[in-house]
Structure 1
């Protein structure tokens, strides 16, 4: 399959901006993508994609957003075996522990993780937006 799903949660718009720039990069990398807010994506759609990009900011004590995103991710984890997965998100504090923990969960689910998760502090500036585009291009070739 050449289609890639970009699934994200965003409260302030920072992670949404990252999702859109990553999707731009995927397109520039020669693949098509569809971008979904997490509540607009159902578990049964996971089977339609071999490549999935997940985005969620760090919340609270460096955890995934607990109202929508973490319950969704917990529900689909068992369906990630052998899928190629990339992770991204914004943060305002901490050292990226939430991303390292999330990477571990993806590996434990049997997915093939692309690179390290992309994290950007607060709102991506122009360099951060370009970093997102490059991340998407790289994942399109993964």
Structure 2
């Protein structure tokens, strides 16, 4: 089984989280395809039953608007019944962007692997990276 981990990262924090999720997937017997959103295809991802999406908080706690938001908007109508992990980092606020994103994907019919997503304030430390690996392990076990 191959599981896609698609992310947008401005500073490398969300990329580090994506790579840790990929490690968790592979350590638990599945293949991980970790890629930035500009390398991903909505149609290909829509054909998968299980995947992860990551984006750091931008502006007033929202998804990055030039690449990730259009990707998510196009994918949104195709996530019903999918098992999805959402993740990302933030530098200010309290994680509102992740709560909004989780609510949005649940409203579109997705089943979230982690109900509140996996988030890290600034650079993910060992606790956050371990949470990412554990979430990757959950994806591999589905």
Distance (Å, rounded) in 1 between the aligned partners of 2:107 and 2:42: 19
Q: Which shifted more, 9-18 or 25-34?
A: 25-34
Query: Which residue number in structure 1 is paired with residue 94 of structure 2?
Result: 95
Contact 2:55 2:89 in 1 (8 A): yes
Q: CA deviation at 1:105?
A: 0.8
2:33 match: 34
Change (3 A) 1:128 1:47: closer
CA separation in 1, counterparts of 2:109 and 2:100? 15
Cα distance in 2 between the residues matched to 1:109 and 1:98: 17
CA contact under 8 A between 1:46 and 1:79: conserved in structure 2? no
Q: Give, in whole Å, the separation in 2 of the partners of 1:100 and 1:56.
A: 13
Give the CA deviation at 1:31. Answer: 1.4
SS state at 1:63 partner: coil
TM-score (norm 2): 0.94
Per the alignment, residue 78 of structure 1 pairs with 77
CA RMSD of aligned residues (A): 1.1
Runs of 4+ in structure 1 off by over 6 angstroms are: none
Deviation for aligned residue 1:11: 0.5
Alpha-carbon distance in 1 for matches of 2:123, 2:2: 27
> How do 1:5-84 and structure 2 match up within 5 A?
5-84=4-83
- Corresponding residue SS for 1:49: coil
TM-score by length of 1: 0.94
| Secondary structure at the counterpart of residue 76 of structure 2 | helix
How far is the alpha carbon of 1:135 from its aligned partner? Answer: 1.6
User: Is there any run of 5+ residues in structure 2 with no aligned partner, and where?
Assistant: none
Q: Residue 141 of structure 1 aligns with which residue?
A: 141
Cα deviations by residue, 1:81-138 (Å, 9 ceiling, x for unpaired):
1111010000011111100100011111111111220000111122322221112112
Q: Distance in 2 between matches of 1:81 and 1:135?
A: 20
